[in-house]
Structure 1
Amino acid sequence: MKTIKASVCILTKNEEENLPKCLAPLADFEEVIVYDSGSTDKTVEIARKHGATVIEGDWEGFGTTRKKLFEAATQPWIFWLDADEIAPDDLIGEIRNCVEADPKTNGYRINRTTWIGRKRFRHGNWYPDWNLRFFRRTEWTMEERDVHESVKVVGIEGDFLTRLEHYSYRNWAERKTRSQRYSKLWASQAFRDGMRATYFDQVGHAWGCFLKGFILKLGFLDGIGGFRLALSNSAEVSDKYRRLRKAWDKFGG
Structure 2
Amino acid sequence: MKGRALSFAAAVGCAVLAAAPAQANPRLVDYPAPAIAPGVAIATYNPDRTPAGFCTVGWLVHDSAGHPALLTAGHCDLGGGAAYQNATDGTVGVGRFTHHIDEGDRGEDADIAVLGIGNYSGAESVATDTRIIGIRPTASPADPGRLAIGDQLCHYGATTRLTCGPITAVLDTKVLFAAPASKGDSGGPVYYRNSDGTATPVGVAIRAADDDGGTVAELIGPWLQRWQLTVDSTPAPAASVGYHR
Q: TM-score range by the shorter chain?
A: under 0.3
Larger % of strand: which? 2
- TM-score, normalised via structure 1 length: 0.26
Rg larger for: 1
